[in-house]
Chain A
Amino acid sequence: MAATSRAGLVNPRLGTYFGIFASALAALVLMALMLEQLGVSDAAVRLVMLCGPIGLYAAIGLLAPTREAQDYFACGRRVPAVFNGLVLAIGALGGAGFLALTGAYFVVGYDALCISLGISAGLVFMGVLLAPFLRKSGDYTVPSYLSRRFESRTLRVVAAAVLTVPLLLLLAAEARFAAYASARLTRQPEEAMALVVVVCATAMVLAGGMRSHTWSGSAKAMAALIALAVPATIVALMLTNLPLPQITHGNTLRVLTKIERGLPILTAPPLVFDFPGQGLEPLAKRFIHAFGGIGSVAFVLTLLTALAGIAGSPSLLMRPGSTPGVHEARKSFGWAVLIAGVVLLTLPAVAIYLRVLLLEQVVGQPIDRLPAWFLTLRDLGVASVDPTGPTVRLVNISFDRDAVLFALSYAAGFPQVLAYLALAGGLAAALLALASALLASAAIVSEDVVHGLRAEPASETARVLAARGALGGIALVAVWLAIAAPADPLRLFLWSLAYSGSAVFPVLLLSIWWKRTTAWGAIAGLIAGLVATTAAILLSEAGVWTLPSVLAGAIGLPIGMAATIATSMLTPQPSQHIVAMLQEIRVPGGETLYDRELRLQRLKTRPVA
């Protein structure tokens, strides 16, 4: 079968369905606004804003069940580029991007740019270097692809074990961000909400796997974008008369720069990585001044680590397989970069607007005459001010990093529903990234561990059942990790990027672009990247060396790359058959390799009439 016509695969009513979803979400927010105005209790309004969107995502996920393996692992290969790009972009950002990165901009200003640039550049590198070739290969998981590319079952098992590390870290991070947002909405402990959000994320994808995840993920991504855009656009209109925060926050930045002239100029040593942590962080740095919290070398290394980490992210690398073809896979990365770019231009706008409002309305005020919105945020545990001195100074204010996104609505005097909408948006992004990591982990366990070592292919039913069972097991691990992992979730997210950047990215890159790469080289690269990154993190956390642990990828990536190249050179050249297959993977035309293999197997096992 040739690459199938796109028009024959893509559902033409998708636009209508998601139009209905967007209308339902808008109606829900309007209803919550009316309930608030009618004096309905705050707890009830918060519950509507939590359960309403989750109910919609769950309904979409549950209404897309499947028993077929290609639907379960690759959404039937019929996801249009724009929807794939939407899920890719918001899945790459997740709760870390929406909640922590906004707060990081607010606290350290310019220095947070290193993560934004790394994420968007990672999508570019994945789209150019890896995704089209993984789509042509058509395998459902990264270990399956490596196993086919090098014809090695040992490599499949090693890759499955190595990839589990960044996936588990990502699971823990995103479960914590989702728990944070939902705990703010319910005012319940984060530990209890971690259980709730992981159960919800699992339930949304259990019935249909990638199929459920793609369509409920598209809905989550749209909700996250709406929740980010609405408060930011209204504040942009109020402050600049133009409803385009991505473009107009530059003018506000100039105002901010003038107001902040009294603050001291800090310059960090080149390798220092002083990023805002979880909880209340003091606002001691000028927004626009570069390298005050993160040194110049650490800035570049963080950017490169995030770039390689996103490009080699196992949860994102499953997505190209769900598009109808190589061309659509490439186009979907164009959409992903566009959407991520818009979001990453909006996040600093939110931070700048909140900082301006804080400087105009709180700084310089007598300590006993603070505005009502700041007192509300203080009562919520989001902000605090050091009461020493007659008036408030910026350096005396501390702010919860992850609360900045929803705090803007309080500072701008909006109805509380818009603050809850921002929280629901952060929750949607975290749930999307959480579901991506859950599905990728479950697919690796079921396809590469449970069925990967069998000589004969398992039946479709057995594969889907195994994936569902693995999803349940991974969900339990995710809950335990989210409750037990004591580290800051942003740090867990950056560690996950360090692992995928140093262990996965070099091997995938060389597997496509250097035909001399061998199976033993790939195994050595995976293990060396993993071990080097783990050692760098442990040595840094133990205080043995000064390199920050989130930059462990800067050590692991060159070691992983060198180990792959050196071992490949020391082992015999790949066979002609393997080189021929690589040449086929490199060309977009022709049938998807995995689908062809499956078709031939079916023909072989078909009973003779």
Chain B
Amino acid sequence: MVMIEWSEHKAYWRNTKTQMLTSLVPFLLVLVVLPLYAEVLNSMRVLVTIAVFVNRQDAIDHSHGAHEDI
């Protein structure tokens, strides 16, 4: 059973929040601003964001011992 240490909780959640903000805020900005100024939006940006998010979040989980036993 993989359980995160209680002392690690705060650091883990801080990293998760940073990762969430760095993933979603630029994505949302691009999503809102680009259609206003560009004729065509490159939808691949969506795919890049989710793929980068999954890989980075897995890395954060592992570095804090919070990962699933899979």
Question: A interface vs B, CB < 8 Å?
Answer: 2-3, 5-6, 110, 113-114, 116-117, 120-121, 124-125, 127-129, 132, 250, 288, 290, 296, 299-300, 303-304, 307, 324-328, 330-331, 333-334, 337-338, 341, 344-345, 513, 583, 586-591
Q: 28 A-B residue contacts at CB 8 Å?
A: A2-B1, A6-B70, A117-B31, A120-B43, A121-B46, A124-B46, A124-B50, A124-B53, A128-B20, A128-B24, A128-B50, A129-B24, A250-B40, A303-B31, A326-B68, A328-B70, A334-B51, A334-B54, A337-B46, A337-B50, A341-B44, A513-B17, A583-B9, A586-B12, A586-B13, A589-B61, A589-B66, A590-B2
Supposing A127-B53, A290-B35, A330-B54 touch, asked if A5 and B46 sit within 8 A by C-beta, the answer is no
Distance in Å: Cβ of B44 to nearest Cβ of chain A:
8
Complex CA gap A267/B13 in Å reads 46
Q: Which residues of B contact A290 (CB under 8 A)?
A: 35, 39
Total contacts A to B, CB within 8 angstroms?
115
Residues of A within 8 A of B2 (CB): 2-3, 589-590
Task: Given contact pairs A127-B50, A299-B35, A588-B68, enumerate 9 new A-B contacts (beta carbons under 8 Å).
Answer: A2-B69, A5-B70, A110-B39, A132-B57, A250-B40, A299-B36, A327-B68, A345-B43, A590-B3
B67 partner residues in chain A, CB cutoff 8 A = 327, 588-589
Complex alpha-carbon distance, A299 and B37, angstroms: 12
**Contact residues in B for A324 (Cβ distance below 8 Å):** 70
> CA separation between A304 and B32, bound complex, in Å?
8
Contact of A114 among B35, B66, B69 (CB under 8 A): B35
Residues of B within 8 A of A6 (CB): 70
For the complex, give the distance between the alpha carbons of A399 and B19 in Å: 46
Q: Which residues of A contact B69 (CB under 8 A)?
A: 2-3, 5, 589
Would you give the shortest CB distance from B16 to chain A, in whole angstroms?
A: 7
Residue of B nearest to A336 (CB): B50
With CB as the reference atom, state the residue of chain B lying closest to A324. B70
What residues on B are CB-neighbors of A326 within 8 Å? Answer: 68
* With A128-B20, A331-B54 as contacts: A341 and B47 at CB distance below 8 Å: yes
Return chain B residues, CB-CB under 8 Å to A5: 69-70
Chain B: minimal CB distance from A390 (Å): 34
A116 to B41, CA, bound (A): 11
Interface: B4 (CB within 8 A): yes
> Which of B32, B41, B51, B68 is the one whose CB lies under 8 Å from A325?
B68
B65 at the interface (CB under 8 A from A): yes
Min Cβ gap A299→B in Å is 6
Interface of A is mostly: helix
Q: Which chain B residues in 10-49 approach chain A with CB under 8 Å?
A: 12-13, 16-17, 20, 23-24, 27-28, 31-32, 35-36, 39-41, 43-44, 46-47, 49
Residue pair B70, A327 in contact (C-beta under 8 Å)? yes
Main secondary structure of the interface of B (DSSP, over half): helix
B47 adjacent to A288 (CB under 8 Å): no
Bound form: Cα–Cα A128–B3 in Å = 22
Q: What's the minimum C-beta distance from B47 to chain A, rounded to whole angstroms?
A: 6
Kindly state the separation between the CA atoms of A345 and B42 in the bound complex, as whole angstroms: 10
Q: A78 vs B13: C-alpha distance in the bound complex, in angstroms?
A: 27
Q: Is the CB of B70 within 8 A of A117?
A: no
Whole-angstrom CA separation of A472 from B26 in the bound complex: 45
Q: A5-B70, A113-B35, A114-B35 are in contact. Are A589 and B65 (CB under 8 A)?
A: yes
Q: Contacts A3-B69, A121-B27, A121-B46 given: A587-B4 contact, CB under 8 Å?
A: yes
Residues of A within 8 A of B51 (CB): 334
- In the assembled complex, the CB of A300 is this many whole angstroms from the nearest CB of chain B, namely 6
Partner of B27, one of A124, A250, A338: A124
Q: How far is the CB of B66 from chain A (nearest CB, A)?
A: 5
Within the complex, the shortest CB–CB distance from B39 to chain A, in Å, comes to 6
Q: How far is the CB of A69 from chain B (nearest CB, A)?
A: 23
The interface centre, meaning the residue of B20, B40, B46, B68 with most chain A CB atoms within 10 A of its CB, is: B68
On chain B, the residues within 8 Å of A333 by CB distance are 50
Q: Provide the bound-state CA to CA distance between A299 and B1, in Å.
A: 48
Query: What residue in chain B is nearest A290 (Cβ atoms)?
Result: B39
Chain A: minimal CB distance from B61 (Å): 6
| Residues of chain A contacted by B32 (CB below 8 angstroms) | 300, 303-304
Within the assembled complex, what's the spacing in Å between the Cα atoms of A307 and B31? Answer: 11
Enumerate chain B residues within 8 angstroms of A288, measured Cβ to Cβ: 39
- The distance from the CB of A251 to the nearest CB of chain B, in whole angstroms, is 13
The one of B9, B47, B58 that contacts A337, using a Cβ cutoff of 8 Å: B47
CA of A110 to CA of B17, assembled, Å? 35
Of A300, A325, A587, most B-chain CB atoms within 10 Å: A587
A589–B50 touching, CB < 8 Å: no
Query: What is the bound-complex CA distance between A124 and B32, given in angstroms?
Result: 15
Residues in A with CB closer than 8 Å to B44 are 341
Q: Determine the distance from Cα of A333 to Cα of B4 in the docked complex, in whole angstroms.
A: 24
Give the complex CA separation of A6 and B3 in angstroms. Answer: 18
Which residue of chain A is the closest to B68 with respect to CB atoms? A3
**Whole-angstrom CA separation of A114 from B16 in the bound complex:** 29
Q: In the complex, how many angstroms separate the beta carbon of A338 from the nearest chain B beta carbon?
A: 6
What residues of B have a CB within 8 angstroms of the CB of A114 in the complex?
Answer: 35
* Contact assessment for B66 and A587 in the assembled complex, using a CB-CB cutoff below 8 Å: yes
A584 to B30, CA, bound (A): 33
Residue of B nearest to A300 (CB): B32
Residue numbers in B under 8 Å from A116 (CB-CB): 43
**Contact residue among A300, A586, A590 (Cβ-Cβ distance under 8 Å from B16):** A586
Q: Are A590 and B1 in contact (CB under 8 A)?
A: yes
Residue ID in chain A nearest B38 by CB atoms: A290
Q: Which residues of A contact B70 (CB under 8 A)?
A: 3, 5-6, 324-325, 327-328
Distance (whole angstroms) from the CB of B28 to the closest CB of chain A:
8
Closest to B31 in A: A121
Most chain-A CB neighbours within 10 Å: which of B39, B50, B51? B50
Which residues from A are CB-within-8-Å of B36? Answer: 296, 299-300
- Knowing A3-B68, A334-B51, A341-B47, the reply to whether A327 touches B1 (Cβ < 8 A) is no
CB distance from B4 to the nearest CB of A (A): 5
Which residues of the partner chain B approach A121 to less than 8 Å between Cβ atoms? 27-28, 31, 46
Residue of B nearest to A297 (CB): B36
